[in-house]
Structure 1
């Protein structure tokens, strides 16, 4: 997953969302990604159907809300238009506008089908494909 930074601030503010979005993904960064990989491994071993985007710094796990693992410090995400964002907060003006700006900043060849995650501190654009969760691959990337 690559972080996209821009000198322009396109997010004016965040406000509490009521009701929260339905969680469809969970994001772990750094040490939280390592814990999320272990929790995902356990959920898959128990039969959960999960998909992942794996990067050495980030892990995104996608699936039904009930199947998603829980990890301290991870962020639950839901669909806000075509972007994933925090389930509990809404970005203003909109997640779709921030997504469009991030893809445009990435260049004219940006994949419009790319997985984009809008967070208060940055926009993440998936640099790899969404694949079925593979415990062996998770262990190799996030071996602690």
Structure 2
């Protein structure tokens, strides 16, 4: 470990954050897409989404977010608004410093950023678009 790097872990948070995003990885992402496609178009218009290979992130009001088994919910800590973290976890360093370091390391990504899974993949949700059934169906078909 170099002196300029501190090991950072995500540990249980005392108070959960309000969910602003729901993310599925792998099979959970496909299940999430299928669940969304069961909703009326009027409900989908309340949500925005970003998708990649084996990942689907849905953003919206907490009561509008979908649920499927295995999904992870993300929220915003007021001290680091440019970062979305799992609602029940917090970094072992001050969150504002963690966000600053993450943004500096991922200069090519626009905030807000999501920190995904144990592999700590980073996903920008800045380009989230309104969820449209046709686009979501194409994404789901491409994942098979």
TM-score by length of 2: 0.78
The aligned residue for residue 4 of structure 1 is none
Alignment check: 8 A CA contact 2:116 2:123 kept: no
Name which one, 1 or 2, has greater alpha-carbon Rg: 2
Contact 2:112 2:126 in 1 (8 A): no
Which residue is 2:133 aligned to?
Answer: 135
TM-score with structure 1 length normalisation?
0.78
Aligned residues: 134
Q: Is the 8 A contact 2:17 2:88 kept in 1?
A: yes
Q: In the alignment, is the contact (CA less than 8 A) between 1:43 and 1:69 conserved in 2?
A: no
Q: Give distance in 1, aligned partners of 2:121 and 2:53.
A: 17
Are 2:42 and 1:42 equivalent residues in the alignment? no
RCO comparison, higher one (Cα < 8 Å, 6+): 1
Moved more, 57-66 or 32-41: 32-41
CA shift digits 1:5-59 (9 cap, x unpaired): xxx9655333322321100100111111111111222335362510001112211
Could you tell me which residue of structure 2 aligns to residue 23 of structure 1? 19
CA distance in 2, matches of 1:79, 1:11: 22
Matched position secondary structure for 1:40: helix
What SS does structure 2 have at the residue aligned with 1:27? strand
Flag structure 2 segments of 5+ consecutive residues without an equivalent.
none
Unaligned runs of 5+ in 1: 1-7
